Amino acid sequence: MTMPPAQPLRAAIWMTGAIISFSAMAVAGRELASGLDTYEIMLYRSAIGLVVVVLVARVAGTLGQVSPRSIHVHFIRNIAHFTGQNLWFFALGLIPLAQVFALEFTAPIWAMFLAVLVLGESLTKIRLTTAVLGFAGVLIITQPWGAPLSLGIIAAALAAIGFAGTAVFTRLLTRSETVTCILFWLVSMQLVFSLICAGYDGDITWPGAQAWPLIVLVSLAGLVAHFCITKALSLAPAAVVMPVDFTRLPLIALVGYLFYSEDLSIALVIGSTMIIGANYLSLSATSKK
């Protein structure tokens, strides 16, 4: 079967939608943090997400694809995602936006190691080089030899590991499950997880009128971002598409500077460049196979 020709320009346009969506979600998440805790943000986000997924699946005629046959894998995947997403929202309120995004970009590096354990993939020299380069970038950003690591940096770094677990178990699920099935269990399980974590003390904050537009934005931005990435990857190879995603970092750094008076340190620039370079090296090596 002949593959259709790559359309890098169209792919880049779709990736622009993903970049804007991720950035909007970060800003909205930071604004919501002053009135809601991370579990409450996830609770309302998951509730809206469930409605959207069910409605879209019903219109598309794919609701019947939802099956519990891989429920244990869905559970592991969604625990990883729930943990990572909560830590990500938590970090947003503690450290500069650019630091959060830079540490988030280590997720593919952690995913390489998890893929060896979960999927039986091999750890090549290129992947080891990528890991070393990326880890060096993390050390430059966090500078653990200077002051003690802040809670925000630790949260963002652990969030990346959670996202890595999400990616690996998603890859495992795609061998037998459809996108509708994966998304349905994602929002359903995270709704339950959020309800338990937010309501264990019997006190769940109901958002005010000003918070609801931000909650809707957080809910829809994630779905739109992942749809845009999927569409972009259908138009061009990952080695072409994913480097465009790295422009999220300078964009969110500019947002942080303009709206939150966040400084852009030399250490952040150097470390981020190393992490992005590590990811690009991995993507380039993969595309040549």
pLDDT of residue 184: 93
Per-residue pLDDT band at 35 (split at 50, 70, 90)? very high
Q: Which residues, including other chains, have CB under 8 Å from residue 218's CB and lie 6 or more apart?
A: 25, 28, 29, 32, 41, 45
- Judge whether residue 287 has pLDDT over 80: no
Give residue 116's pLDDT.
83
Residue 47 has pLDDT above 90, yes or no: yes
pLDDT of residue 1: 43
Report, as an integer, the average pLDDT of 197-215: 92
Nearest to 87 by CA among 153, 43, 32: 153
For residue 92, pLDDT beyond 90: yes
* pTM for this predicted structure: 0.87
Answer whether residue 222 shows pLDDT above 80.
Answer: yes
User: Model confidence over 127-180: pLDDT tens digits?
Assistant: 788 888 888 888 888 877 776 789 999 999 999 999 999 888 888 888 888 888
Phi-psi region of 61 (alpha: psi -120 to 50; beta: other; left: phi over 0): left
- What pLDDT, on the 0 to 100 scale, is given for residue 135? 87
pLDDT (average), residues 68-95: 94
Cα distance between residue 203 and residue 200, in whole Å: 8
